[in-house]
Amino acid sequence: MKHFISVHDVTNVNDMVQLAMHYKQHPFIDQHLGANKRIGLLFLNPSLRTRLSTQIAASNLGMEAIVFNIDKDGWALEFEEGAIMSGHTVEHIKDAAPILGQYFDILCIRAFPALQNKQDDYSEQVMKAFMQYAAVPIVSLESATLHPLQSLTDVLTIKEHWHKPTKPKVVLTWAPHIKALPQCVANSFSQWMTHWGEAEFVIAHPEDYALDATFTKSATITHHQDEALQNADFVYVKNWSTYHDYGKIYSNDPSWMLTEQKLQLTNQAKVMHCLPVRRNIELSDEILDSNASLVNTQAGNRVWAAQAVLSTILKTL
Amino acid sequence: MKHFISVHDVTNVNDMVQLAMHYKQHPFIDQHLGANKRIGLLFLNPSLRTRLSTQIAASNLGMEAIVFNIDKDGWALEFEEGAIMSGHTVEHIKDAAPILGQYFDILCIRAFPALQNKQDDYSEQVMKAFMQYAAVPIVSLESATLHPLQSLTDVLTIKEHWHKPTKPKVVLTWAPHIKALPQCVANSFSQWMTHWGEAEFVIAHPEDYALDATFTKSATITHHQDEALQNADFVYVKNWSTYHDYGKIYSNDPSWMLTEQKLQLTNQAKVMHCLPVRRNIELSDEILDSNASLVNTQAGNRVWAAQAVLSTILKTL
Amino acid sequence: MKHFISVHDVTNVNDMVQLAMHYKQHPFIDQHLGANKRIGLLFLNPSLRTRLSTQIAASNLGMEAIVFNIDKDGWALEFEEGAIMSGHTVEHIKDAAPILGQYFDILCIRAFPALQNKQDDYSEQVMKAFMQYAAVPIVSLESATLHPLQSLTDVLTIKEHWHKPTKPKVVLTWAPHIKALPQCVANSFSQWMTHWGEAEFVIAHPEDYALDATFTKSATITHHQDEALQNADFVYVKNWSTYHDYGKIYSNDPSWMLTEQKLQLTNQAKVMHCLPVRRNIELSDEILDSNASLVNTQAGNRVWAAQAVLSTILKTL
């Protein structure tokens, strides 16, 4: 594995999950692996869980992690080829990336979409530019369209909680939110569900909220949440803004909030969310405070997912 | 010791001071104690001395310290039970705290009072919520009403400079300031003086600046600074805003500034301040630049106080 | 070497360059040197390359590096002796510096000029105050008038790329920019070229942009860029604002941008820049993307220059 940008960088999802579970049992077993190696965590957007879990994963592997938060006003990067840089951008990616590649053995990057222009966001300009110019492995800490460390965590969490021989029914359901959010988590979860292939995968969302079909190929898609929830074993709750008429909030129908009552429709489903969650908007207190909730487990598992990814890359250096 | 929020968490103040003195002589003697342990330093408000001294203390004990400054706009926490989170708060403490508790073995938190509502501040909502939900030891890096790491440092500094068999006379005197400051340092110092019990403790402040009586039980209180300074062995200078009519600046009488002349009244008293200090407003240059000043010693001692607290908690993990 | 503020702190430039080259070959050879030593990196102004390279250099030497970025509004330092601190400054350097000196074995400081008042900036108030009050070695991470870590890097980079017995011709040329920049890099490069003495050193700039003559004593100065570029072996491109009528942008003549065509005048010169660079304003894409460019090598060499400086100081502790 050179980079970790999407599920396509992973040879075998189950092997990667297995490795993450191994680290959960033995956090410090590979502490020699990262000796005298450095990992840079570059945040173009803020982060709590992702920063901490990746930093801890790196440290468990004996690497030195250096975090740098880029205030966009302070260090606006230019991406346009041939730009005459007389404006607000202060450094071109062609100059910035190679240097970071000299300073670090692995470079992790978070760069959210602007949600202004679909083509720009879905071209994954930032990740691609770093891959092109940095000359070291690039790990996505959430990009414009995907969040693979979250998705690996999610598969891990599902596997930990499913012990039957049959495939679990996993439902990704849209939920209301007060802000226009990226499609990253939903895209990425769909992509990983597809690639993993060991679940019956259903997506429920209001009509206008169809995701990019590239990611949802294996999913049964419905606009009826109740229908989707029938016999579900896992319900992943997540808001996203519109994809087709890009980055908008159309309806924000509060009836899409997951409640205890709706959960009755399921097969005593476990409930997942990547956090942070708007309580009583996306998900009700009664669920989050119950045993059905896996959200804390997911957040904890972020460490082991990151550790599996970093150690896999470290072994190739 | 599970948490360290106030003097009530300490079994024996003198033992804790002794341990801090021991670390001052032998900073790295317990470097094994924190191996593979992580401490999170969460700042809801900015810090220089507290951050650095706690980070250094942790590192002296072999722990990995991770600092995260929370920009309040970026990660506004919700504390209200049952809140419908459609406003500016992005994550509930019930979701945030357990995750931080998974990532860290000890969690240190700084959260200043808003000085808007006495009940809110004096309920110590933030500390209590982290203690309730994080499931790991919580260490206060200054809370809404107390600053115990500072107070432990202060007792340590007094003990280092007092070698007579009698009790020293310790005076806490209010001083002018241009901003409305919390009562934390004054409350906490009063609480520790009371608990320690090895000083004759006097508080001098203008009439409107009475502190919460809960903390000042053992103190002789006067509104006459000159009277208080008579035969003082230590003078602790600190501004605070009003407690009863909460968070106000009433008079800001410049004659309350401690000067060399006033110090003549004392028993060649040593002068203390937790820093940062407004020179020539709270305390005159002539004192701060003289041998009477212990302010640098106090700031240096912050490391050993923190190290004593962290090692005591580490031993229980 | 006690402090590292300018070339005058270095006994022998070539020995220091040699040490940096040694570390480039063997980054971890002196990892024992910094055991249980701490270095504070205090940024009064933002930094990317300088922060990362110094942090990595410290870590290569086994030191613990702690970075703290000072938001000027949050922690405005007072420098005036005898100030009555009733304004926006919250802490006097006389109180802040000694404490940082207690916490760290070496203190590194970045403090840009305000470009408002020449006397203030050229007095190097901040560096001098820290040297006076901190009681530990002070390393400049770029001060109001100089940037010695950059200049040591630059000499190192020139030496790496010059293998003839004759002196190379090194040209420092002014370039256009959209903002008024400090003279630090140009001053410092001139000072190091002078002290090193192993190059024929020429400075080219438009008439109004003369530098402080203190630094440029050994240089041939011209206002004709073409003339300067004739037979140049190295061309260092850098903008600076006016020195005499201080901190202004007079002309910003775009014809001073270095281009491929101009480079034809040189002896296949290598092109240098300290970064960040405004592409197609200071330097054209065609040069930056060609083999003539040393800018990435320079940025990488920042680590080894810093490591040489820190290890030299460590050996004196």
Tens-digit pLDDT profile for chain B (317 aa)? Answer: 999 999 999 999 999 999 999 999 999 999 999 999 999 999 988 888 999 999 999 999 999 999 988 764 557 889 999 999 999 889 999 999 999 999 999 999 999 999 999 999 999 999 999 999 999 999 999 999 999 999 999 999 999 999 999 999 999 999 999 999 999 999 999 999 999 999 999 999 999 999 999 999 999 999 999 999 999 999 999 999 999 999 999 988 999 999 999 999 999 999 999 999 999 999 999 999 999 999 999 999 999 999 999 999 999 99
pLDDT, one tens digit per residue, over C257-289 is 999 999 999 999 999 999 999 999 999 999 999
Give chain A positions within 8 Å (CB) of B135.
Answer: none
pLDDT in the model for residue B137:
98
* Predicted local confidence at residue A41, as pLDDT: 96
Selecting from C46, C178, C299 the residue whose C-beta is nearest the C-beta of A99 gives C299
Q: Is the pLDDT of residue C73 over 60?
A: no
Model confidence at C78: pLDDT above 90: yes
High-pLDDT (> 70) share of chain A, %:
99
* Chain A neighbours, 3+ Cβ pairs < 8 A: B, C
Residue C29 forms contact with A (CB below 8 Å): no
The verdict on whether residue B38 carries a ligand-binding annotation is no
- Which of chain A's residues have a Cβ under 8 Å away from the Cβ of B74? 46
Provide the pLDDT confidence category of residue C46 given band limits of 50, 70 and 90: confident
pLDDT of C71 over the 70 cut: no
Min CA distance, B109 vs chain C (Å)? 18
Count other C-beta atoms under 10 Å from residue A202's C-beta: 21
Chain C residue with minimum CA distance to B55:
C66
B80 reaches A (C-beta below 8 A):
no
**Cβ–Cβ below 8 Å for B82 and A275:** no
Residue-level pLDDT at C75:
75
Would you call A52 and B84 a contact, using CB atoms and an 8 Å cutoff?
no
Residue C72 has pLDDT above 70, yes or no: no
Q: Evaluate the CA torsion angle C116, C118, C123, C127 in order and state its sign.
A: positive
Burial A9-32 (b: 16+ CB within 10 A, else e): bbeebeebbebbbbbbeebeebee
Which of chain B's residues have a Cβ under 8 Å away from the Cβ of C68? 48, 51-52
> Per-residue pLDDT for A38 more than 90?
yes
Residue type, B18: Q
Q: Which residues of C touch A84 (CB under 8 A)?
A: 279-281
Q: Is B275 annotated as a binding residue?
A: yes
pLDDT > 90 in chain C, percent: 93
**Mean residue pLDDT across chain C:** 96
What is the average per-residue pLDDT within A200-221?
97
Instruction: Encode pLDDT of C79-106 as tens digits.
Output: 999 999 999 889 999 999 999 999 999 9
The answer, for B285 touching chain C at a CB cutoff of 8 Å, is yes
Residues of B in contact with A52 (CB under 8 A): 40, 66, 68, 100, 103
- Interface check for B52 against chain C (CB to CB < 8 A): the answer is yes
Q: Measure CB to CB from residue C300 to each of A36, A84, A102 and give the nearest one.
A: A102
A278 and B95 in contact by Cβ < 8 A?
Answer: no
Per-residue pLDDT averaged across A99-119, rounded? Answer: 96
| Interface confidence: ipTM more than 0.90 | yes
Chain C residues inside the 8 Å CB shell of A103:
52-53, 56, 300, 303
* Per-residue model confidence (pLDDT) at position A178: 93
Tell me which chain C residue has its CA closest to the CA of residue B53. Answer: C103
pLDDT in the model for residue A71: 64
Q: Is B75 known to sit in a ligand binding site?
A: yes
Query: For an interface test with A, which of B70, B72, B85, B106 has the most A Cβ atoms less than 10 Å from its Cβ?
Result: B85
Q: Binding site membership of C for carbamoyl phosphate: which residues?
A: 47-50, 75, 110, 147-150, 274-275, 302
Inter-chain touch B91–A51, beta carbons under 8 Å: no
B288 at C interface, C-beta within 8 A: yes
Taking the Cβ of residue B68 and every Cβ of chain A, the question of whether any pair is shorter than 8 Å is answered with yes
3-state secondary structure chain B: CCCECCHHHCCCHHHHHHHHHHHHHCCCCCCCCCCCCEEEEEECCCCCHHHHHHHHHHHHCCCEEEEEECCCCCCCEECCCCCCCCCCCCEEHHHHHHHHHHHCCEEEEECCCCCCCHHHHHCCHHHHHHHHHCCCCEEECCCCCCCHHHHHHHHHHHHHCCCCCCCCEEEEEECCCCCCCCCHHHHHHHHHHHHHCCCEEEEECCHHHCCCCCCCCCCEEECCHHHHHCCCCEEEEECCCCCCCCCCCCCCCHHHCECHHHHCCCCCCEEECCCCCCECCCECHHHHCCCCECHHHHHHHHHHHHHHHHHHHHCCC
Cis amide prior to A165 (ω within 30 degrees):
no
3-class SS of residue C110: strand
Query: Do A279 and B78 count as a contact with CB atoms less than 8 A apart?
Result: yes
Question: Could you identify the residue written with the tokens 């933002």?
Answer: C46
For chain A, give the percent of residues with pLDDT over 90.
Answer: 93
Is 80 exceeded by the pLDDT of residue A221?
A: yes
CA distance C58 to C182: 27
Q: How far is B42 from chain A (nearest CA, A)?
A: 11
Give CA–CA dist C12/C14, Å, rounded. 6
Phi, psi (deg, nearest 5) at residue C195: -65, -40
- Please, what are the domains in chain A? 7-146+301-314 (3.40.50.1370), 162-293 (3.40.50.1370)
Give the CA-trace dihedral at B213, B215, B218, B224, to 10 degrees. -60
Query: Cα separation of C119 and B76, whole Å?
Result: 44
Name the binding residues of A for carbamoyl phosphate.
47-50, 75, 110, 147-150, 274-275, 302
Q: Count residue pairs from A and B with Cβ separation < 8 A.
A: 66
Buried b / exposed e along B204-237 (16+ C-beta atoms within 10 A): bbbeebebbeebbeebebeeebeebbeebbbbbb
Give the orientation angle of helix A184-196 with respect to helix A148-160, to 10 degrees. 50
Residue carrying the six token digits 């989170």: B85
Give the position of tokens 């940037």: C147
A64 sits in which H/E element: strand A64-69
**Are A279 and B96 an interchain contact pair (Cβ–Cβ within 8 Å)?**
no
Give the pLDDT band of residue C45 (cuts 50, 70, 90): confident
Q: Per DSSP, what are the bridge partners of residue B173? A: B204, B237
In the three-class reduction of DSSP (H, G, I as helix; E, B as strand; rest coil), residue C278 is classed as coil
Query: Three-state SS for C317?
Result: coil
How far apart are the CA of A301 and the nearest CA of chain B, in angstroms?
A: 10
In order of A64, B35, B158, B159, B190, the CA distances from B5 in angstroms are 32, 24, 21, 22, 15
Non-local CB neighbours of A166 within 8 Å, separated by 6+ positions: none
CB contact under 8 A, C300 and A99: yes
Taking alpha carbons only, the member of B302, B269, B3, B307 closest to residue B155 is: B302
Local confidence band at C70 (pLDDT 50, 70, 90 cut-offs): confident
- The SS3 assignment for A164 reads coil
| A47 band by pLDDT with thresholds 50, 70 and 90 | confident
Looking at the complex, does the CB of residue C68 fall below 8 Å from at least one CB of chain A?
A: no
Does the pLDDT value for residue A74 go beyond 60? no
Distance from CA of B51 to the nearest CA of C (A): 10
Nearest by CB to residue A103, choosing from C56, C277, C281, is: C56
Q: CA-based Rg of chain A, rounded to a whole angstrom? A: 20
At C244-258, the pLDDT tens digits run 999 999 988 999 999
Residues 6+ apart with CB under 8 A from C81: none
Nearest-CB residue to A36 (from C28, C288, C289):
C28
Is B163 near chain A, with CB under 8 Å? no
How far is CA C115 from its chain centroid? 17
What pLDDT does C74 receive?
57
Q: Which residues of C fall within a CB distance of 8 Å from A71?
A: 46
d(CA B284, CA B278): 9
Q: Which of A55, A288, A289 sits opposite B66 (nearest CB)?
A: A55
Summarised one tens digit per residue, pLDDT across range A124-174 is 999 999 999 999 999 999 999 999 999 999 999 999 999 999 999 999 999
Q: Does C46 touch chain A (CB under 8 A)?
A: yes
